[in-house]
Amino acid sequence: MFRRLLIDHWMSIFTLTAFITALSIYCTISIRALRMPKGQRDHLANLPLND
């Protein structure tokens, strides 16, 4: 039983790493989108999606 506790605690590192990676990607994309110049925002908003 003690071995299982050590393995379970060790495996939680993968979950934490995946969460931190996803959070950092989400924050980076959000910050870049918020800091985008107005001209580029307007250009991307007017792009046709169904061509």
pLDDT of residue 37: 95
Alpha-carbon distance values, 10 to 6, 14, 22, 25, 28 (Å): 6, 8, 20, 24, 28
Greatest mean pLDDT range, 5-9, 13-17, 36-40: 36-40
Mean pLDDT on 19-48: 95
Q: Is the pLDDT of residue 11 over 70?
A: yes
